[in-house]
Structure 1
Amino acid sequence: MALLVLGLLIWVGAHIFKRVAPEQRAAMGDTGKLIVTVALVISIGLMIWGYRGAAFIHVWSPPSFMVHINNLLMLVALFVFGMSATTGRLRGKMRHPQLVSVKIWAVAHLLVNGDLASIILFGGLLAWAVLEVIIINRAEPVWNRPQPGEAKKDVLLVVITLVSFVVIAAIHAWLGVWPFPG
């Protein structure tokens, strides 16, 4: 559990460092980018290692129908995440699509996982995403909304979302976590 918490703390620190100390971060130049990247990779490794190695401590039992809600929310999360890269009509509909996606992803996983390690991991990342949006919005209150592009790019986003969902479901199955009710 300690590795999981350490990974979360490094993740939050590496992301928020740029926001709370922008001058110091800018002064570090490319070296700073490398340090943050290495810290994020280490944090992901620690979160995975800590989560997989954590003892199962039961907190609550999610009802079985939550799996359906989780899967629907995961499709939405992937779609919203993709909105950050789309050049279609949906571009600019949401200010923080990646962070909103993390929030949806975290809530979806909290709905189907009732153990302490899951609550720490997904709840911690949910709290980070909320905090990050607040910090960004305070630092940059004005948002210049990008102009929408072509609708056919949104169709591509739907296709990429569906393919991504299948790949992620396959990875979960490969790891021994069957993501569909049976």
Structure 2
Amino acid sequence: MGTSLLILGVALWAGAHFFKRLAPEKRAEIGEAGKGAVAIALLISIVLMVIGYRMAEPVWLWIAPFWMVHVNNLLLFIAFYLFAVSGLKTNLHRRIRHPQLSGFKAWAVGHLLVVGTVQGLILFGGLLAWAVVSVIVINRANRDWARPPEAPMWKEGVAVVGALFLMLVVGQIHGWIGPWPFGGA
């Protein structure tokens, strides 16, 4: 039951995100109400993923070596940094067309490295596949990309500090509701 809910949650997440790209006429026809429907679908998908992941009996495929936690944490820092790059429109955003999706992919890969269960593979592998396909779909739909304007250098520093702060806060919350993400405990 848990695995089915997990798969349903990942599929709903992908479907809700692809709705705008794969059915633009239908999305335009729905108008502003479509945004609310997509938001509700995304919320339901997250709930299904969390419940399904927690309900599924772990079937171990591999055990990550202890040092892999540090590789995971580096990838997660990169993920938080890329989200900050997108929000602040730093100079790195001039080089990376999809910093949020790139950060999401780093997050998924990091988790795949340390969570060696079938449900981890379904969750993080499924979300990684969604992010990869999203980049392809967006790039095919919008071939012309106008690079953002040059940004002041201080934004890079703010992005690094913000990413570090968010990583620590999210890591603490992760430790309260799941495994401690920083190793050692």
- TM-score strictly above 0.5: yes
The Cα shift of 1:27 comes to: 1.1
Matched residue, 1:10:
12
* Contact 2:89–2:148, Cα closer than 8 Å, also in 1: no
The Cα shift of 1:42 comes to: 0.5
Q: Distance in 2 between matches of 1:155 and 1:22?
A: 38
Q: Distance in 1 between matches of 2:108 and 2:89?
A: 26
Matched residue, 1:76:
78
1:130-165 Cα deviation digits (max 9, x unpaired): 000000011111101110221112211111101001
- Residue 106 of structure 2, aligned match among 99, 104, 125: 104
SS in structure 2 of the partner of residue 145 of structure 1: coil
Matched residue, 1:173:
175
Matched residue, 2:39:
37
Please give the root-mean-square deviation of Cα atoms over the aligned residues, in Å.
Answer: 1.0
SS in structure 2 of the partner of residue 44 of structure 1: helix
Aligned-residue sequence identity (percent) comes to 50
Question: What TM-score does the superposition give when structure 2 sets the normalisation length?
Answer: 0.95
**Superposed, which structure 2 residues align to 1:7-156 within 5 Å?**
7-156=9-158
The Cα shift of 1:62 comes to: 1.3
Moved >4 Å (runs of 4+): none
The Cα shift of 1:68 comes to: 0.8
* Contact 1:56–1:115, Cα closer than 8 Å, also in 2: yes
More deviation, 81-90/53-62: 81-90
Letter in 2 for 1:161: A
Q: Structure 1: 5+ residue runs without aligned partners?
A: none
**Alignment: residue pair count:** 182
